[in-house]
Structure 1
Amino acid sequence: MFNRLCIIGVGLIGGSIARAARQQGLCNNIVGYGRKLDEQNLKTAKSLGVIDDYTLELDKAVQDVDCVVIATPVASIESIFTQLKPLWSNDAIYTDVGSTKGSVIAAAQKVFGVVPDNLVPAHPIAGAENSGVTASVDDLFLNKRLIITPADNASPEAVQKIQVFWERLGSLVSVMDVQHHDSVLAATSHLPHILAFALVDMLGHKDEQSEIFQYAAGGFKDFTRIASSDPTMWKDICAANKDEIIPLIEQLKGELDKIQRLLETNDSQQLFETFTYAKNARQRFLDQFYNN
């Protein structure tokens, strides 16, 4: 499918893309690129066979490539575009894996003046708490959703090729408007991460923290699992999508205030109905998307 694939940022996602692409025979050669401080991770990626080679020089990394995958934190996208601008090739396809897409489109417009028609933003809804190439696996995207958010001027051929690429990596691909993507992911991914971080932050600062965590049951572990995610990455994601996240936080405050009032007024019936609605809504979600 591609002769030479360049991965900018060979971490969990970038490394997993490389592993899956190699396993599925989607490219002949994979080169990794990163900064000097990433060199040990790149050496590890090469020694593990995740990539064929690596370089710390971007011009060498993108030389004669067919596809460039930007798998760096969303806050770095504008800088990456700036570095790529003089090296940009009309013969290659460029894509990314950022969790926010409006910020990617805005960065492209700022750097290039217009979104290049061979740039196809994408977001694999897959991940893990651990980071780095050692956490990468070849089946990370298997049966996981992948959202493509092409600009209006995107090349249909480029969009089609990226869609097929992700489908062959095992993803369930959807095409979505940028704003819709950021709105949906704010509710289903970004807000839950904020809740997990906030809860653990609150409990961790309590004087009796050792006793709280000592007696925490499996539910606490399950609910707070995502608080083990990379803080730098999630700081950047939340900042990039704050316009969608802040209204959701306000709505959540209202929901918590409602539950507080029900407790204060001993309205056990309404509390029961609230919990029952939530339980049934979650079951409908499970039946529709996971139990088929």
Structure 2
Amino acid sequence: MIKTLAVIGVGLIGGSFSRALKAAGVVQRVIGFDLDPDNLAEALQLGVVDEVAADYAAAVSAADLVFLAVPVRAMTAAVTACAPYLPAGCVVTDGGSVKEDLVAACEPLMPEGCHFVGGHPISGTEHSGAKASFATLFQGRRCILTPTGRTNQQALELVQRLWEAAGSRVECMEPLTHDRVFAAVSHLPHMVAYALVHAVDRSAEEEENILAFSAGGFRDFTRIASSDPSMWRDIALMNRLPLLSVLDRYQQEFAALKEKVAAGDGVWLENYFTTSKRLRDEII
């Protein structure tokens, strides 16, 4: 489908995208670039990429498609660094989980004849780095593309076909809608998980390590608190307003729950938990 893919940021997402497309046989050559030289060397050693580049220019100058998998607040700088070296007809896309500000910033940076398509694979683990990547990460998972009025249709179709080759179910969504949706279903849960770990740790009395007694429920719920802290710092800051909105709603729900526990209202609690169970079971 494409001769040369350039992956900027060869971690879990970038590395898995490369592995998936190589496994599907839709790319001939993958060039990787990463600001961490040790991670880049490991990506080459593991066969995640076929070649490594010393800088942005060397990574993208022969690319048919550039995939950006860097922290969202570093994305615009990466596109700016790549733009002067993009060959005519090159398509640039990304895997960032915040879209409105990012797409608005990156689209105007494209040189004549090159095209940007915003994307967000709804996949991941709490691990990071090239060694964490695997070819089936995107199998059966959604990938959201966020075209705008400036998006080139052929570029959009190419990116969609590549994600489908990687195993994803592709949907399109307006960038702002995307940010509101994922503030609720992705960004809020991460904030809650981080906060819960702190809340339990700070409830320790007489320096007893309460966390050492955590069982499956606590560990399952807080698994995502092991995710890359710098990545989630950037997401929280870039998607600030939608995230603040859902944090306010969460605080309202939590305040109501606290009030009913304090009042000893068992009927309300059971009904509340029953509704939550039904909604959760419908998702599964």
Where on the TM-score scale, by shorter chain, does this alignment land: which range? over 0.9
Rounded to whole Å, the distance in 2 between the matches of 1:41 and 1:248 is 35
**How do 1:273-288 and structure 2 match up within 5 A?**
273-286=271-284
Deviation at 1:158, TM superposition (A): 0.6
- 1:123 maps to 120
Q: Which deviates further from its counterpart, 136-145 or 257-266?
A: 257-266
Q: Deviations over 1:218-238 (max 9, x none)?
A: 110110000000000000011
Matched, 1:7 2:7: yes
Aligned counterpart, 1:178: 175
8 A Cα contact 1:90 1:118, kept in partner: no
- Name the CA distance, whole Å, in 1 between partners of 2:168 and 2:244: 30
1:60 aligns with 2:68: no
Shift of 1:215: 2.4
Q: Deviations over 1:127-184 (max 9, x none)?
A: 0111000000010000011000012121111101100100010001101111111111
Contact 2:84–2:111 (8 Å) recurs in 1: no
Q: Which residue of 2 aligns with 1:289?
A: none
The 2-side partners of 1:248 and 1:114 are apart by: 37
Deviations 1:1-21 (A, max 9, x none): 110100000001111111111
1:33-91 per-position Cα deviation (integer Å, ceiling 9, x unaligned): 122xx111111111111111111221111122100000101010111122123223331
Tell me the TM-score normalised to structure 2 length.
0.95
Match of 2:97 in 1: 99
Number of residues of Structure 1 aligned to a counterpart in Structure 2: 283
Structure 1 residues without counterparts, runs of 5 or longer: 287-292
Gaps of 5+ in 2: none
Contact 2:63 2:90 in 1 (8 A): yes
What is the SS of the residue equivalent to 1:49?
coil
- Structure 2 distance, partners of 1:206, 1:33, is 44
Q: Name the stretch that deviates more: 180-189 or 78-87.
A: 78-87
Secondary structure at 2:77's aligned position in 1? helix
Distance 2:79 2:172 in 1: 23
The 1:67–1:113 alpha-carbon spacing in structure 2 relative to 1, beyond 3 Å, is closer
Q: Which amino acid aligns with 1:200?
A: V
Residue 290 of structure 1: aligned partner: none
- Partner SS state of residue 64, structure 1: coil
The RMSD of aligned alpha carbons is: 1.7
Conservation of the 8 A alpha-carbon contact between 2:201 and 2:209:
no
Q: SS of the residue aligned with 1:129?
A: coil
The CA deviation at 1:253 is: 0.9
- Seen in structure 2, the aligned counterparts of structure 1 residues 43 and 114 have a Cα distance that, compared at 3 Å, is closer
Distance 1:272 1:252 in 2: 19
Give the corresponding residue for 2:21: 21
Shift of 1:205: 3.0
| Contact in 2 for aligned 1:146/1:173 (Cα 8 Å) | yes
What residue number does 1:136 align with? Answer: 133
Aligned to 1:32: 32
CA distance in 2, matches of 1:27, 1:100: 27
Conserved? CA contact 1:44–1:133, under 8 Å: yes
Q: Could you tell me the TM-score, scaled by structure 1's length?
A: 0.93
Distance change (3 Å), C-alpha of 1:114 and 1:32 = closer
CA distance in 2, matches of 1:180, 1:34: 31
Partner SS, residue 264 of structure 2: coil
Aligned to 1:88: 86
Runs of 4+ in 1 over 6 A off after TM superposition: 113-117
Secondary structure of 2:31's counterpart equals strand
Distance 1:271 1:26, change over 3 A: same
User: 1:66, 1:93 within 8 Å by CA — same for their partners in 2?
Assistant: yes
CA–CA distance in 1 between the matches of 2:235 and 2:201? 23
Identity of aligned residues (%): 37
Give the distance between the partners of 1:203 and 1:284, measured in 2 at CA: 29
